[in-house]
Amino acid sequence: GAKPFTVRNAPDGKIKFNGTDEDWIQMRDAMIDVIQSGTGRGIRTPLYQIAGKTGTAQVKSIAQGKRYNEAALSERQLDHGLFVGFAPAEKPEIAIAVIWENGRHGGSAAQLARPVFDYWLLTRKKNPIRPANHQVNGGLMTAGIKPGELPSGGESSGPASATATTNKPAASTPQAAPARPATNEADE
């Protein structure tokens, strides 16, 4: 079996990858496939290549022999949507992790990441002022996005409204983000 080990930061603060270059390329390519043809395909774009992984965290236990019935669950019992990704895949500039509480699936969580990717890679250099709907707390950037405003233009099957979680008081809830950045005409 596999031998467990503890990951530690090197004294210089850099984390060393213990795999080979081929291992990294294989993992990156698999994450690109998730966006190109898998559960993250709702955020693919011709403007840059995203590598990512979607996931789902079950909230409500299902008894053995029973089937998952989303219609029988309350909103607070719906699965959490998860996404981690980076872009551009060939030479990453930004990495994002999203947890959408009760977002139903990772594909929805991935769509919450797309406006942040777009801002960082397409808009930031043209307009260095951070959009008003993006909140920064320490090293984290969050955006209040409702399901009808997802970057794919589609409606999520997620809850009626979703806002990114911050460590700020509830009074500073982010405002809704536009469906797409205004500078993204080539993606339409």
d(CA 110, CA 106): 6
pLDDT of amino acid 84: 94
pLDDT, position 174 = 36
Query: Would you state the pLDDT for residue 100?
Result: 81
Q: In the prediction, which pLDDT does 168 show?
A: 32
Cβ pair 147, 107 in contact under 8 A: no
Q: Find how far residue 35's CA is from the centre of its chain.
A: 11
* Tens digit of each residue's pLDDT, the chain (188 residues): 778 877 666 677 777 778 888 998 999 999 999 999 998 998 999 999 999 999 887 777 777 777 777 777 777 777 788 999 999 999 999 999 988 877 677 788 888 889 889 989 988 777 666 656 565 565 555 555 555 555 554 444 433 333 333 333 333 333 333 333 333 333 33
| Structural domain boundaries in the chain | 21-187
pLDDT of residue 102: 77
Going by C-alpha positions, the residue among 99, 115, 82, 89 that lies closest to residue 33 is 89
User: And the tokens for 9?
Assistant: 């930061």
Kindly list the distances between the CA atom of residue 17 and the CA atoms of 14, 51, 83, 89, in Å, as whole numbers in the listed order: 10, 18, 21, 17
CA distance 88 to 150: 20
Task: Judge contact between 139 and 118, C-beta under 8 A.
Answer: no
Stated pTM of the model: 0.59
Nearby residues of 106 by Cβ (< 8 Å), 6 or more positions away: 39, 40, 53, 54, 55, 56, 81, 82, 83
Smallest CA-to-CA distance from 117 within 99, 143, 136 is with: 143
Nearest to 154 by CA among 179, 127, 183: 179
Q: What is the DSSP string of 103-136?
A: --SHHHHHHHHHHHHHIIIIITTT--SPPTTEEE
- pLDDT at residue 7 in the model: 66
